[in-house]
Amino acid sequence: MRILVMTKPVPDPAANAERLGPDLRLDRAASPTVVNGNDEYGLEAALQLVEAHGGEVAILTMAPASGVETMRKALAMGALRGVLVSDDALAGADIPTTIRVLAAAAAIQEWDLLLGGLDTSDGAGGAVTAGVAARLGLPLLSAAAHIEPDEAARTVRVKRLSAKGYDLLEAPMPAVVSCTQALGTPRYPSLKGIMAARTRQITTLSLADLGADLAPADRQWPSRVLAVEPPPSRAAGRTVTGDPASQAREIADYLADRRII
Amino acid sequence: MPATLLVLGEVADGHLTKLSAEIAALARGLAASAGGQALGLVVDRAPDAAAGELAAHLPRVVSVALGPAADEAWAPHAAAEARRLVGEGATHVLAGVTNDGRDVAGLLCGALGWGILANASGAAWDGDALVVRATVLAGKAITRSTVEAPNAIVTVSPGAAEASPLAVAGSVESRSPVGQPVVPAAAVLDRVAEAGAAVSLEEAKVVVVGGRGVGGPEGFGLVDELAGLLGGVTGASRAAVDAGWIPYARQIGQTGKVVRPTLYLSLGVSGAMQHRAGMQGSEHIVAVNRDPDAPIAEIADLFVLGDLFEVGPALAAELRARRGG
Ligand SMILES: Cc1cc2nc3c(=O)[nH]c(=O)nc-3n(C[C@H](O)[C@H](O)[C@H](O)COP(=O)(O)OP(=O)(O)OC[C@H]3O[C@@H](n4cnc5c(N)ncnc54)[C@H](O)[C@@H]3O)c2cc1C
Ligand SMILES: Nc1ncnc2c1ncn2[C@@H]1O[C@H](COP(=O)(O)O)[C@@H](O)[C@H]1O
């Protein structure tokens, strides 16, 4: 079982310090960086699958050169090697470009399953994993809550989150899967894992290495942020104290005044 | 060339979703101000009812009955139908911020190379370019973004526009399917509904939400009881979902559902940014929490400082008493 996981470095949501810079792009210096949450769920699922079936997990990232630091965290969890696509021409790349680059890089790796996140916690576009499947012409099993390959049959089954529960999907491998929190909590890297990650190989590829000049000639992406503003503040209301029975009366009065009850 | 905006309709239980009707209203407004057109697409096993409902909001709707492909993943087929309409002149595709809508948006982005404007909470033209508003970075900022190109894919969040039917309903054109999905479509072997998931959280007028504070699956008994008394639906924070106390389909927030009910009532929810992203559009917010510094106090209309295991039952008793009297 060979599994390639697309892992994007994102600002750590726990640090709560994400912001856009004066150029209206993500200010990468403002916040510590982690592997995107949904990608980590995918990575955990991938590691469990190779533990059960044998094989190897590799990771694929498109990021500035500093992306290797975040990739080491994924390697420390147990991924064996990494591929980093990094090129000055990709600064500020838009979603279709990200899709083209990741698909081109994935196409020259060997794998049975390609995992990505359902979406990212910074951009939250939720389009890249499906877009890569479209570029590669492979089945997309999205919003996965459980992944179960059958190596002998060369198929994979996925429980896909639906509005009411889940759908059970099946497709031939190779296939692309988008991953969610429902796959389960990722492991913490062990000390041994952290040590091992230092020596694991990260191959850096430029656009030229991918054999295509994927960037528009003028290096201007048509997708742009024009303006940014703070979210509207919602004024805090009233604090209700007192004994529970009087608090309950006050809530009920509030609801009755607004004809909710 | 004037814009032609294609609205991807979604169907739940045979009917058009509220979000799809809102997107139709948004597209119609954009078409009117650009001197262009808006049209709808419904792709389903039995699309007729929903196509008729979408035609109440749009002058023209294409309806495609899937046939045997209805037992396969929906998005690759829906994307193929959308791509056919792009071939016939659609310049913009608008889909909802749902798992299905995002799958179609992503597949089309990969297939067509068009730019995506994600999570739109509003949209307007700047010349020929579409400019959308979106909340980004876990609610920390609102951006206005554009794709400077004649084509774009837009994913639209709930509440971006108010649905308003046309005076005269539009026409529905039934077509047979393209047949060739955008990518090989996975087979759907089974569809499983989890307990209590029948009522749509997004469409509920009252949502009662339990967080980590309810302490365990039993704690949701109290949440369900209050939801029942208020004619509402039970929701949850991610902490409660991750703990396995309640299915994911109940999660509210950035990675769950976005709700805009008349009343949002929470028990034991701290109100983290990612949770707020799914509920801050609620009309009235009432929160029960024993920590005076819980962030939800910053946005609650009524912040009830106390133990939910005392306030909750007292509120249930009060609601029962008022109902009886
Ligand atoms: C990328 C990302 C996406 C996320 N997406 C979501 C999302 O979609 N939805 C979501 O909800 N979260 C999401 N989160 C998680 C979010 O950051 C919070 O961790 C989560 O919302 C906390 O849930 P909670 O409020 O139930 O728990 P806690 O933060 O632990 O709060 C529990 C609250 O209950 C109160 N309490 C405890 N006992 C009692 C009692 N007896 N009586 C009264 N009050 C009591 C406490 O004072 C506390 O305020 C996301 C996080 C990340 C990083
Ligand atoms: N720069 C990137 N490098 C690696 N993977 C990425 C990158 N951007 C997006 N992805 C993958 O695509 C998923 C969805 O991202 P998005 O569509 O941007 O929300 C992520 O969870 C990743 O798995």
Q: What is the pLDDT of residue A155?
A: 98
Chain B residue numbers with beta carbons less than 8 Å from the beta carbon of A229 are 141-143
CB proximity list for B92: less than 8 A, separation 6 or greater: B3, B4, B5, B6, B30, B130, B151, B152, B153, B154
Q: What is the pLDDT of residue A62?
A: 97
Using only C-alpha atoms, chain A has a radius of gyration, in whole angstroms, of 22
Q: What is the pLDDT of residue B21?
A: 98
The beta-carbon neighbor of B109 closest among A19, A96, A237 is A96
Nearest to residue A243, comparing CAs of B267, B307, B230? B307
Count other Cβ atoms within 10 Å, centred on residue B205. 14
Q: What is the pLDDT of residue A87?
A: 93
pLDDT band, very low/low/confident/very high, at A19 (cuts 50, 70, 90) = confident
Residue showing tokens 């099946």: A170
Nearest to residue A180, comparing CAs of B277, B255, B294, B37? B255
Q: What is the pLDDT of residue A214?
A: 63
**Ligand 2 atom nearest to A63, measured from its CA:** 1
The beta-carbon neighbor of B187 closest among A26, A169, A248 is A169
Q: Which of residues 186-215 of B touch A (CB under 8 A)?
A: 186-194, 197-198, 200, 206
Q: What is the pLDDT of residue A211?
A: 82
pLDDT tens digits, one per residue of A179-200: 999 999 999 999 999 999 999 9
- Quote the distance between the C-alpha of residue A179 and its chain's center: 8
Identify the H or E element spanning A247: helix A244-257
- Tell me the CATH number at A137: 3.40.50.620
Distance from CA of A199 to the nearest CA of B (A): 34
* Residue A218 pLDDT > 60: no
Give the mean model confidence (pLDDT) for residues A173-181.
98
Taking one residue from A and the other from B, the number of pairs with CB-CB distance under 8 angstroms is 305
CB B12 within 8 A of CB B44: no
Tell me the pLDDT of chain B averaged across its residues. Answer: 95
- Quote the distance between the C-alpha of residue A253 and its chain's center: 45
Q: Ligand nearest B239 Cα, by number?
A: 1
Distance from CA of A188 to the nearest CA of B (A): 17
pLDDT tens digits, one per residue of A41-70: 999 999 999 999 999 999 999 999 999 999
pLDDT tens digits, one per residue of A152-171: 999 999 999 998 899 999 99
Q: What is the pLDDT of residue B145?
A: 95
CB A229 within 8 A of CB A21: no
Q: Two tokens at A123?
A: 């951009």
pLDDT band, very low/low/confident/very high, at A29 (cuts 50, 70, 90) = confident
The alpha carbon of B110 and the centre of ligand 2 are apart by a number of angstroms equal to 13
State the Cα–Cα distance between residues A101 and A137, nearest whole angstrom.
15
Half-sphere exposure of B288 (CA within 13 A, CB side): 30
Backbone region of residue B257 per phi and psi (left: phi > 0; alpha: psi in -120 to 50; beta: other values)? beta
**What is the count of structural domains for chain A?**
1
Nearest to residue A89, comparing CAs of A217, A227, A244? A217
* Residue A248 pLDDT > 80: yes
State the Cα–Cα distance between residues B219 and B156, nearest whole angstrom.
34
Looking at residue A97, what DSSP letter applies?
A: H
pLDDT band, very low/low/confident/very high, at A85 (cuts 50, 70, 90) = very high
HEC states along chain B? Answer: CCCEEEEECCEECCEECHHHHHHHHHHHHHHHHHCCEEEEEEEECCCHHHHHHHHCCCCEEEEEECHHHHHECHHHHHHHHHHHHHHCCCCEEEEECCHHHHHHHHHHHHHHCCEEEEEEEEEEEECCEEEEEEEECCCCEEEEEEECCCCEEEEECCCCCCCCCCCCCCEEEEECCCCCCCCCCCEEEEEEECCCCCCCCCCCCEEEEECHHHCCCCHHHHHHHHHHHCCCEEEECHHHHHCCCCCHHHEECCCCECCCCCEEEEECCCCCHHHHCCCCCCCEEEEEECCCCCHHHHCCCEEEECCHHHHHHHHHHHHHHHHHC
Residue A247: inside a domain: no
* Residue A213 pLDDT > 80: no
Considering the entire predicted model, what is its pTM? 0.94
Torsion on CA atoms A170, B69, B248, A123, rounded to nearest 10: 90
Q: What is the length of chain A? A: 261
Residue in B11, B109, B142 to test binding to A, most A beta-carbons within 10 Å: B109
Count other Cβ atoms within 10 Å, centred on residue A168. 17
* Residue A222 pLDDT > 80: no
Q: What is the pLDDT of residue A181?
A: 95
> Domain limits of chain B?
4-175, 206-322
Q: What is the pLDDT of residue A215?
A: 57
pLDDT tens digits, one per residue of B274-312: 999 899 989 999 999 999 999 999 999 999 999 999 999
Chain A CA closest to residue B134: A228
**Across the interface, do B149 and A95 touch by the CB < 8 Å criterion?**
no
Distance from CA of A255 to the nearest CA of B (A): 9
Distance from CA of B35 to the nearest CA of A (A): 23
Q: What is the pLDDT of residue A15?
A: 86
Percent share of chain A, pLDDT over 70: 96
Give the mean model confidence (pLDDT) for residues A205-211.
91
Sign of the torsion formed by the C-alpha atoms of B264, B268, B271 and B275: negative
SS3 category, A219: coil
pLDDT band, very low/low/confident/very high, at A219 (cuts 50, 70, 90) = low
The alpha carbon of B212 and the centre of ligand 1 are apart by a number of angstroms equal to 6
Q: What is the pLDDT of residue B196?
A: 62
State the Cα–Cα distance between residues B159 and A73, nearest whole angstrom.
38
**Ligand 1 atom nearest to B211, measured from its CA:** 26
Looking at residue A173, what DSSP letter applies?
A: S
Is residue B180 within 8 angstroms of chain A, CB to CB?
Answer: no
Residue A232: inside a domain: no
Q: Which CATH superfamily is domain B206-322 in?
A: TPP-binding domain (3.40.50.1220)
State the Cα–Cα distance between residues A45 and A61, nearest whole angstrom.
18
The alpha carbon of A123 and the centre of ligand 2 are apart by a number of angstroms equal to 9
The alpha carbon of A34 and the centre of ligand 2 are apart by a number of angstroms equal to 13
State the Cα–Cα distance between residues A111 and A4, nearest whole angstrom.
6
Tell me the pLDDT of chain A averaged across its residues. Answer: 93
Chain B residue numbers with beta carbons less than 8 Å from the beta carbon of A24 are 143
pLDDT band, very low/low/confident/very high, at A21 (cuts 50, 70, 90) = confident
Q: What is the pLDDT of residue A179?
A: 98
* Residue A234 pLDDT > 60: yes
Is residue B91 within 8 angstroms of chain A, CB to CB?
Answer: no
* Residue type, position B167, single letter: A
Looking at residue A151, what DSSP letter applies?
A: T
Looking at residue A187, what DSSP letter applies?
A: P
State the Cα–Cα distance between residues B132 and A31, nearest whole angstrom.
26
Looking at residue A212, what DSSP letter applies?
A: S
Q: Two tokens at A1?
A: 């079982």
Residue A221: inside a domain: no
State the Cα–Cα distance between residues A158 and B99, nearest whole angstrom.
15
The alpha carbon of A115 and the centre of ligand 2 are apart by a number of angstroms equal to 10
B266 pocket-lining for ligand 1 (C-beta < 6 Å) = no
CB A147 within 8 A of CB A208: no
Helices (H), A91-184: 95-107, 128-136
Find the domain containing A65 and state its range.
Answer: 2-214
State the Cα–Cα distance between residues B315 and B325, nearest whole angstrom.
15
Residue A219: inside a domain: no
Count other Cβ atoms within 10 Å, centred on residue B245. 21
Residues of chain B short of pLDDT 50, as ranges, are: none
Nearest to residue B234, comparing CAs of B261, B271, B274? B261
- Considering the four listed CATH numbers 3.40.50.620, 3.30.70.2080, 3.40.1650.10, 3.40.50.970, the one that applies to the domain covering B4-175 is 3.40.50.620
Q: Where are the beta strands (DSSP E) in chain A?
A: 2-6, 9-11, 33-35, 56-62, 81-85, 113-117, 140-150, 155-161, 165-172, 175-179, 202-205, 223-229, 238-240
Pairing of β A165-172 and β B92-96 = unpaired
Pairing of β B15-16 and β B92-96 = unpaired
Chain A residue numbers with beta carbons less than 8 Å from the beta carbon of B11 are none
Backbone region of residue A258 per phi and psi (left: phi > 0; alpha: psi in -120 to 50; beta: other values)? alpha
Fold agreement (B4-175, B206-322): yes
A178 pocket-lining for ligand 2 (C-beta < 6 Å) = no
Q: What is the length of chain B? A: 325
